[in-house]
Amino acid sequence: MQTDRGRFFEDFSVGESIVHPTPRTLHQGDATLYMALYGSRFALQADSFARALGYPQAPLDDLLVFHTVFGKSVPDISRNAVANLGYAEGRFLKPVFPGTTLRAHSEVLGLRENSNGKTGIVWIRTTGTDDHGDEVLSYVRWVMVNKRDPDKPCVHEPVVPQLQSVVPADALKAPAATDFSRFDTRDSGSELCWEDYQPGDKIDHVDGMTIEEAEHMIATRLYQNTARVHFDQYAQGQGYHGRRLAYGGHTISIGRAMSFNGLANAFCLLALNSGQHVAGVFAGDTVYCWSQIIEKAPIIGRNDCAAIRLRLIATKNVPCRTYPYQRADGTYAPEVVLDFDYWALMPRRAG
């Protein structure tokens, strides 16, 4: 058989190492298309701004890198997925610039069959590397994958990995050879620096963005993500959702782009602590978002910048002026679709 139908739940084993094929070189065209899809306005993606801070050129958006590495893993991990469920222990380790070739490999950390006998959860750690073999990104995700034969009992003993809830602040590092004391708030779009935010602050990012069918599929193709659930309406019309599901990373990028309104100087990502796709998002849904400041931390050896931990909450078809989140019993408000906890880098106020 010459074609590949992808792995099903039965095909994974804990401890397995998977090297993902087809390395991908990212160019300025990828960056431009990414901006066209989401409208991100963070100033670090402007060459003159980035060079003033010590970068050799503008780095690619962190989430473009994340989605590209993620996409490399899909044919081997989640081509037969029902949904990607969550993330943890994510580290953005090195800026990536246009012209860089990315590769990815994964390790299977855990497996657990679901009670319906039709699907199971697979936990994997995926690492992305550049042309020099340096790690640029590492993260854990867990995904619900269909079984090949739901009528056969599972042969795997359940293994659920223990994961950190938060990447420790003392493990965070700012990009080397940079100087954020030269950060120009006139160009960045906001005068607010790290000192101006306090834990507990809530920020309604106000704007909404409606997901279009063509756009979410273009975005997913940009990352070479081949999961059937995003493309094949004939199959999905008879499946779990009844229609094509927007890639969860598409929602993350929409929320991150909209967070510029209130967090313009949270200009790059340092770590991904946790993330949950609470509910599916589909074409025609309008995404809104708000953020809460969780904590702040200095960067060891740096006085020009510091870390801020943010929780991004996205909703569909309901604006965020009331800050919808979790109920007292831990369940989410029905409009919530994403809960995304991450560390970002911000400039410190001079003096």
In eight-state DSSP terms, residue 259 is: T
Inform me whether the pLDDT recorded for 191 exceeds 90: yes
State residue 242's pLDDT score: 87
> According to the model, what pLDDT value does residue 99 have?
98
Q: What is the pLDDT of residue 342?
A: 98
351 pLDDT band, cuts 50/70/90, is low
pLDDT digits (tens, 9 = 90+) for 5-34: 889 999 999 999 999 999 999 999 999 999
Q: What is the pLDDT of residue 108?
A: 98
Residue 142 has pLDDT above 70, yes or no: yes
Q: Is the pLDDT of residue 1 over 80?
A: no
Q: What distance in Å separates the CA atoms of residue 325 and residue 213, rounded to the nearest whole number?
A: 27
Rg (CA), the chain: 20
Select the more confidently predicted residue: 140 or 233: 140
pLDDT band at residue 239, thresholds of 50, 70 and 90? confident
Q: What is the pLDDT of residues 246-305, one digit of tens each?
A: 999 999 999 999 999 999 999 999 999 999 999 999 999 999 999 999 999 999 999 999
Helix (H, G, I), strand (E, B) or coil at 271: strand
Burial 14-40 (b: 16+ CB within 10 A, else e): beeebebeeebebeeebbeebbebbeb
Res. 72: pLDDT tops 70: yes
pLDDT at residue 180 greater than cutoff 90 = yes
| 8 A C-beta contact, residue 8 and residue 78 | no
State how far the Cα of 247 lies from the Cα of 231, in Å rounded to an integer: 10
Question: How are beta strands 286-298 and 209-210 bridged, if at all?
Answer: antiparallel
Return the pLDDT at 303. 96
Calculate the average pLDDT of the chain. 95
pLDDT bin (cut points 50, 70, 90) of residue 91 is very high
Query: Any residues with CB less than 8 A from the CB of 251 and at least 6 apart, and which?
Result: 211, 277, 281, 287, 314, 337, 338
Alpha-carbon torsion angle 241, 244, 247, 251, nearest 10: -80
The tokens describing 114, both together, are 């679901």
Q: pTM value?
A: 0.95
Residue 18 DSSP SS3: strand
Confidence of residue 348 (pLDDT cuts 50, 70, 90): very high
Distance between CA atoms of residues 12 and 108, nearest Å:
7
Helix extents (H) in the chain: 28-38, 47-52, 62-77, 185-188, 213-222, 233-236, 248-258, 260-263
The DSSP 8-state label assigned to residue 173 in this structure reads -
Q: Is-contact 239 228, C-beta < 8 A?
A: no
Query: At 80, is the pLDDT very low, low, confident or very high (cuts 50, 70, 90)?
Result: confident
**pLDDT in the model for residue 300:** 93
* Predicted local distance difference test score (pLDDT) of residue 238: 84
Question: In which band, very low, low, confident or very high, does the pLDDT at 346 lie, cut at 50, 70 and 90?
Answer: very high
Q: Would the pLDDT of 325 be above 90?
A: yes
Nearest to 55 by CA among 155, 191, 178: 178
Mean pLDDT throughout 120-137? 97
The CA-atom distances, in angstroms, between 187 and each of 206, 215, 319 are 22, 29, 29
- In a 10 Å sphere around its CB, with 0-12 CB exposed, 13-18 middle and 19+ buried, how is residue 46 labelled? middle
Please tell me the predicted confidence (pLDDT) of residue 2.
75
For 168, residues 6+ apart whose C-beta sits below 8 A from its C-beta are none
Q: Which fold has domain 9-347?
A: Thiol Ester Dehydrase; Chain A (3.10.129)
pLDDT at 261 (0 to 100): 98
Determine phi and psi for 299, rounding to 5 degrees. Answer: -100, 125
- What is the pLDDT, as a whole number, of residue 29? 98
3-state SS assignment for residue 287: strand
What is the average per-residue pLDDT within 173-198? 97
Domain boundaries, the chain: 9-347
